[in-house]
Amino acid sequence: MGYKKRSSFGGIAVLVVVVASLLYVYFSATFEREVPAIHIENNGYWNLKKPLEITIDDASGIKEYKITLKTQTDIVTLSHEQFMTPQTKIHLEVKAPRTLYRTKDEFVEIVVEATDFSKWNLLNGNATAKSAKLTLDKRKPQLSIVKNSYKISKGGSALVIFKVKDENLDELYILGNNDKHFKPQPFYKEGYYISLLAWPVKDRTFKATVIAKDKAGNISKAYVPLYLKHKDYRLSKIKLSDKFLKGKIADLAEEFVETEGVDEKLEQFKIINEDVRAKNEKLIHEITSKVADDELLSSFKVRKMYPLKNAKVVAYFGDHRKYYYDGEFISEAYHLGLDLASNAMAEIKPQNGGEVVYSDYNGLYGNMPIINHGLGLYTLYGHCSSVKVNQGDIVTKGEAIANTGKSGYAMGDHLHFGVLVQGIEVRPQEWMDKQWIKLNITDVIKSAKNIIDRN
């Protein structure tokens, strides 16, 4: 009887040991069952110039990896390594073998195999493999300028038309100042593009370069050969009066959240002139930066702009205004439109139709409709007393859209007329000049079409 009890206790003990051992194996990090994680950085294309970036991760540590290149006729080992100590993470930059530059294969396959230090799988560890099929693309996009405006003035506009060809085209833009990306629009026939350019009035110089990049990372660049015409703009030193600060500025300060709790008049002015203005202009730039870059543009006709009949210019575009109080500099701003005045609450009638993309109150600009005329060209109408159009409306040439006024930051009844190219304010005077439009827009488009038709 005692022997049977000892035998029973012994069996239970063995069972407990076996169960404990199984639980240890199941939950122990030494016997983890996760295969190594392999990541091959790619988008399905390879230009061979840039190394392939491969990352292998594993909790128990990587014991061995192997990277193989497969072509239609050959299998080549690109990298193979075994480790004596676990490597939890490996980052590799694998270069293309020289023989691959001579291949005519359109596709290749990269295979990555990895084994970890786990004791799972009968002490052999967890093994896995991952592959990526890549399209070889060693050619840069074909890029050439077809036609462009002869010159561009500081604060002004220009036009460029160019050709690009690449089956795997991924990115296309024109790089301007301050990393500005002008978006071109498909033009006339397949493979041709058109874009307006703008030289910001605050910048000393200007350069525009067409950038074409394919999915494999090949890049082509073409400089737009514009003659740069420098133009001097007015610098105005304005003395702030107590009457102005206690009147107009005090009224505006009650309107904006930025000046809540601020009682000091000069501080109110500084906030309004800088912070509120920046907020208002940011909204304008966001609205006017949009371009229909997927829509084929066959032509672009624009009439000279003169939205206010018998108007007098009361403030010019590009005026750099510096404000002083008792001889001390307080703040500064640029006037980025043309102020026109005629009769009080005069009708505003744009000479070019388009879509109303904004029609609301915008801080310093007051009641402000904005019209999109296509090709990234917009017109803005500030300080209106009343507005007759809504966002989404399509307006026609000569249609009355609003009346002049003094809403927002305006001392008297007038129209703040702004012209913008892809979010950049430009000189309205150019777009009010029939001859300028002919030489820089109409003739360039006509000449480009003739060149395209001959090709």
Give the three-state DSSP class for 113: strand
* Residue located via tokens 């990277």: 67
For the whole model, what pTM was predicted? 0.88
Q: Which residue has the tokens 């009355």?
A: 400
**Residue type at 355 in one-letter notation:** E
What is the CATH topology of the domain spanning 142-231? Immunoglobulin-like (2.60.40)
- Name the strand (E) or helix (H) holding 279: helix 277-287
Cβ–Cβ < 8 Å for 354, 372:
yes
CA–CA distance, 364 with 386 (Å, rounded to integer): 15
Identity at 162, one-letter amino acid code:
F
CATH superfamily of 35-136: Immunoglobulins (2.60.40.10)
Domain limits, the chain: 1-31, 35-136, 142-231, 235-422
Distance in angstroms (rounded) separating the CA atoms of residues 60 and 80: 19
DSSP 295-331: S-B-----PPP--STT-EEEE-TTEEEEEEETTEEEE
CATH number for the domain formed by residue range(s) 235-422: 2.70.70.10
pLDDT in tens, the chain (455 residues): 555 555 666 566 555 555 444 444 454 456 788 999 999 999 999 999 999 999 999 988 999 999 999 999 889 999 999 999 999 999 999 999 998 998 889 999 999 999 999 988 877 889 999 999 999 999 999 999 999 999 999 999 999 999 999 999 999 999 999 999 999 999 999 999 999 999 999 999 999 999 999 999 999 999 999 999 999 999 999 999 999 999 999 999 999 999 999 999 999 999 999 999 999 999 999 999 999 878 899 999 999 999 999 999 999 999 999 999 999 999 999 999 999 999 999 999 999 999 999 999 999 999 999 999 999 999 999 999 999 999 999 999 999 999 999 999 999 999 999 999 999 999 999 999 999 999 999 999 999 999 999 98
Residues 6 or more apart whose CB falls under 8 angstroms from that of 209 comprise 174, 175, 221, 222, 223, 224
Q: Could you give the 3-state DSSP secondary structure of residue 249?
A: helix
CATH topology agreement for domains 142-231 and 235-422? no
Q: By C-alpha distance, which of 244, 247, 281, 274 is closest to 259?
A: 274
The two tokens of residue 221 are: 């660049």
Residue 393: the pLDDT is 98
d(Cα 156, Cα 143) in Å, to the nearest integer? Answer: 26
